[in-house]
Amino acid sequence: MGNDQDLEEKIVRSICSSHCGGTCEMKVHVKGNRIVRIEPDDREFRPRLCARGHAYRQRVYAPDRLLYPLKRTGERGSGQFSRISWEEALETVAGEMIRIKADYGNAAILHFCSMCDPHTLHHVGAFHKLLCQFGGYTAPWGFISHEGATFSAGATYGLRRKFTQTEHRPEEYLGSRLIIMWGWNPVTTEQGTLVPLTLARAKEWGTRFICVDPRYTDSAALFADQWIPIRPGSDAAVLLAMAYVIIKENLQDQEFIETHTIGFDSFKAYVLGLEDGKAKNPEWAEAISTIPAATIAELARAYATQKPAVLVTSIAPGRAAYGEQYHRAAAVLEVITGNWQEKNWLSGPSKRLTFNPQFSSPPNAVEMGAPPRRNALPYRGPSVNSSARVNVSMFADAILKGKAGGYPNDYKMLWLSNTNYLNQLGEVNKTVEAFKKLEFLLVTEQFMTASARMADIILPVCTFLERNDLLAPKGYGIYAILNQVIEPLGESRSQLRICQDLALKLGINDYGAQSDGELVEELVAKLAEEVDLPDLDSMRQEGFCFGKLRKPKGATQPEGPKPQAPAFRTPSGKIEIYSEIIARIGDPLIPTLPAYIEPWESPNDPLAGQYPLQLITPHFKRRAHSQFDNLPWLRELQTQMVSINTIDAEARGIRPGDLVRIFNDRGEVQISAKVTERIIPGVVALPQGAWYDPDKQGIDQGGCANVLTKNAISPGGAFICNTALVQIERVEG
């Protein structure tokens, strides 16, 4: 071990990569090969490390870190493993891949690497290249977080994807008269750690805040002047009713509508009910949402007249049965009131730096020749749109049914990296069955997650503090080097290294063998050809750097007046209230105008007789999804509980802290109850990400929300974790 006391303490900078999206700067104090302290960055206007970031040291040195390759010795899911060498692990993996390829073809291999962190080298690109060189594989399509929003952004604005989670930037909040936090809880659910600070400044300045959420969240408590509780899944109806009031009272921004949009007249006819005889008025929306009609009308007037106003629609209400309709309705409300801010957008996606530092890879042979998916929007490119892909939320169904169920193939092997798929996607018990049916399950992990427990081989991967990487530009022109702070613990290896080692076992000799440190240097040198950046050493020391795209030689500013409106990549070149692209899809469940469609498992579903409570599954402050759930420092901060309104609790004889069973046909969870008035009656909230921990009867004692959610997607492809009916009972005894 050596004597750490004698060693000098150094500070190495990195960026927290913990799948919350915060990307906060970290000052890591090291002595020799040991992290002794983690501090936030001490400069102004930098994302501030939260409790999870501070606790990362405990994560690195957690006693349950996986440090050696493991092979399964008991039944799948029994949790029995024995330690093996890397040689044996890689030989086994390569052998299985070669066998499955020979027996079933490359499409039988499914792979998923989850997103969000600032990886460049140790991420999807590394696996994608390897698997393409191996002859192809089945890749997923769809963002788990915001596929509904992405669908809407494509149809409405012609965007490839959203440019921020809310389509807004903190700069917009300062100087706004009104901020509507719609299903948005940034105090708890991180969306950039500078956001709450910016909101606090706006609050000081006098901005009015309104929160529309089934829960009285910490963000509502801190900022809101008004809380409007809403029934989950009814958002599109309320937004349409707001549009009704605005149109009836002629509060819309007619000039903006005429210069920037198409389809307003058909939309107007739809909300006024001229075609179907059903006015989408506040009374109509009250019956669906439980929000009093007068409150909806007031909200509409405030949004249309107290300008500038920002409608921050978060993505949680879009992770629901017809999630894309909520996002479409919100987008339309924003544009018809003229609250859509052009300046914000022009400095956003259109100036995005195009440099893509992912590796160059051969095309995925499995996707070649496959036509586009039926519900694909053209902006995302042939690969993401390929019908050879499987929606990211539908692996369980695809594995269980395969071709016979209408999927493009039968799936025999699954490789999971950067994801706790079993825990995090819909319907855990069904996923368990699906995983049991696989011929080979490979998991690269740091911890024995519920997904890893099912694996045949587990490859131990190091944390981001044990490797080098680069933060790629995300539209802000921000770059940062993620410095390696210590050597990988135990026998863990970086993801890039694992791919390199496996390539050789697969007989692939041109994968590349450069170390991550060398690759970072090479990428920075390449970037410097296009972007004004500090030199490599300064970048290593500085953390975040702002890089300006250099103008190509000889380029001049175009003469003449600025164009009236930015050109959108929609068929009309304008913001599409009526979507021509959707018209081409021709699916009545994806209407051309934003519409409210009654979700399945709503309170009107006959199933509500048996399971009368709507379950929502928000993100949790002390976790990033399932990550950090095992750390004592963080467990101290909050207890996993199900929130239930006092009225619903009393009706069931449930007192605060009682152990309750939450159940439906898909499974059962037992956890204690938090009886509170901070949630609307009829709705219960179980924070997502707690570790699935089934007892002998298969009842989850860990509080994993996805035991109760359904393995299904919205017509646009959204994960639907906020659409589920449940019943709750007190556990006797």
Ligand X SMILES: Nc1nc2c(c(=O)[nH]1)N[C@H]1C(S)=C(S)[C@@H](COP(=O)(O)OP(=O)(O)OC[C@H]3O[C@@H](n4cnc5c(=O)[nH]c(N)nc54)[C@H](O)[C@@H]3O)O[C@H]1N2
Q: How far is the CB of 50 from ligand X (least distance, A)?
A: 7
> Tokens 């299903």 correspond to what residue?
183
Q: Could you tell me which residues are beta bridge partners of residue 71?
A: 82, 457
Q: Residue 493: CB partners within 8 Å, gap ≥ 6?
A: 86, 459, 460, 461, 462, 501
Q: Does 617 bind ligand X (CB under 6 A)?
A: yes
Q: Does 419 bind Mo ion (CB under 5 A)?
A: no
Positions in 477-536 near ligand X (CB under 6 A): 495
Cβ neighbours, 10 Å, residue 272? 16
Q: How far is the CB of 615 from ligand X (least distance, A)?
A: 9
The one of ligand X, Mo ion, none whose footprint includes residue 214, by CB under 5 to 8 A per kind, is ligand X
Nearer to ligand X by Cβ, of 534 and 612: the residue is: 612
Binding mask 305-344 for ligand X (x = CB under 6 A): ---------xxxx-xx------------------------
- In 62-137, at which residue ranges do the beta strands (DSSP E only) sit? 70-72, 81-83, 109-113
Q: How far is the CB of 144 from Mo ion (least distance, A)?
A: 6
Q: How far is the CB of 145 from Mo ion (least distance, A)?
A: 3
Question: Which H helix or E strand runs over 635?
Answer: helix 632-635
Candidates 184-192, 195-203, 521-529, 694-702: pick the segment binding ligand X (CB under 6 A). 184-192
Q: Does 214 bind ligand X (CB under 6 A)?
A: yes
Long-range contacts of 26-32 (CB under 8 A, 24+ apart): 26/53, 26/56, 28/465, 28/485, 30/485, 30/486, 31/4, 31/7, 32/2, 32/4, 32/7
Q: Does 601 bind ligand X (CB under 6 A)?
A: no
Q: How far is the CB of 528 from ligand X (least distance, A)?
A: 27
CA angle 206, 310, 568 (to 5 degrees): 150
Positions in 653-712 near ligand X (CB under 6 A): 688-689, 705-706, 709
The one of ligand X, Mo ion, none whose footprint includes residue 722, by CB under 5 to 8 A per kind, is ligand X
Q: Does 640 bind Mo ion (CB under 5 A)?
A: no
Nearer to Mo ion by Cβ, of 190 and 456: the residue is: 190
Q: How far is CA 428 from CA 236, 447, 451, 557, in A?
A: 29, 18, 10, 56
Q: How far is the CB of 353 from ligand X (least distance, A)?
A: 23
Question: Which H helix or E strand runs over 210?
Answer: strand 208-212
Q: Does 189 bind ligand X (CB under 6 A)?
A: yes
Binding footprint of ligand X, residue count (CB under 6 A): 60
Q: How far is the CB of 697 from ligand X (least distance, A)?
A: 22
Positions in 131-170 near ligand X (CB under 6 A): 144-145
The one of Mo ion, ligand X, none whose footprint includes residue 230, by CB under 5 to 8 A per kind, is ligand X
Q: Residue 268: CB partners within 8 Å, gap ≥ 6?
A: 247
3-state secondary structure 443-494: EEECECCHHHHCCCEEEEECCHHHCCEEECCCCCCEEEEECCCCCCCCCCEC
Q: How far is the CB of 165 from Mo ion (least distance, A)?
A: 8
- Out of 160, 453, 497, 623, which residue is the one contacting ligand X (CB under 6 A)? 623
Nearer to ligand X by Cβ, of 233 and 694: the residue is: 233
Decide: 134 and 506 in contact? Cβ < 8 Å: yes
Q: Does 314 bind Mo ion (CB under 5 A)?
A: no
Q: Does 101 bind ligand X (CB under 6 A)?
A: no
Spatial distance between the Cα atoms of 454 and 434, rounded to a whole number of angstroms: 11
Q: Does 423 bind Mo ion (CB under 5 A)?
A: no
Q: How far is the CB of 690 from ligand X (least distance, A)?
A: 10
Q: How far is the CB of 213 from ligand X (least distance, A)?
A: 5
The one of ligand X, Mo ion, none whose footprint includes residue 352, by CB under 5 to 8 A per kind, is none
CA angle 175, 179, 183 (to 5 degrees): 150
Q: How far is the CB of 465 from ligand X (least distance, A)?
A: 10
Candidates 179-187, 272-280, 329-337, 352-360: pick the segment binding ligand X (CB under 6 A). 179-187
3-state secondary structure 664-732: ECCEEEEEEEEEECCECCCEEECCCCCCCCECCCCCECCCCHHHCCCCCECCCCCECCCCCEEEEEECC
Spatial distance between the Cα atoms of 613 and 370, rounded to a whole number of angstroms: 42
Q: How far is the CB of 462 from ligand X (least distance, A)?
A: 7
The one of Mo ion, ligand X, none whose footprint includes residue 315, by CB under 5 to 8 A per kind, is ligand X
Q: How far is the CB of 84 from ligand X (least distance, A)?
A: 18
Positions in 98-157 near Mo ion (CB under 5 A): 145
Nearer to ligand X by Cβ, of 282 and 547: the residue is: 282
Q: Residue 336: CB partners within 8 Å, gap ≥ 6?
A: 243, 246, 247, 252, 253, 256, 257, 261, 264, 267, 577
> Tokens 């035991």 correspond to what residue?
707
Nearer to Mo ion by Cβ, of 149 and 523: the residue is: 149
Cβ neighbours, 10 Å, residue 569? 12
Nearer to ligand X by Cβ, of 109 and 320: the residue is: 320
Decide: 339 and 309 in contact? Cβ < 8 Å: yes
Phi, psi angles (nearest 5°) of residue 89: -60, -50
The one of ligand X, Mo ion, none whose footprint includes residue 295, by CB under 5 to 8 A per kind, is none
Q: Does 625 bind ligand X (CB under 6 A)?
A: yes
Q: Strands 683-685, 642-645: parallel, antiparallel or unpaired by DSSP?
A: antiparallel
- Out of 96, 253, 427, 445, which residue is the one contacting ligand X (CB under 6 A)? 445
Q: Residue 701: CB partners within 8 Å, gap ≥ 6?
A: 669, 670, 671, 693, 694, 695
**Positions that interact with Mo ion (CB under 5 A):** 145
Provide the binding-site residues for ligand X, judged by CB under 6 A. Answer: 19-21, 114, 116, 122, 144-145, 182-185, 189-190, 212-215, 217, 230, 232-233, 235, 314-317, 319-320, 417-421, 424, 444-447, 449, 461, 495, 616-621, 623-627, 688-689, 705-706, 709, 721-722
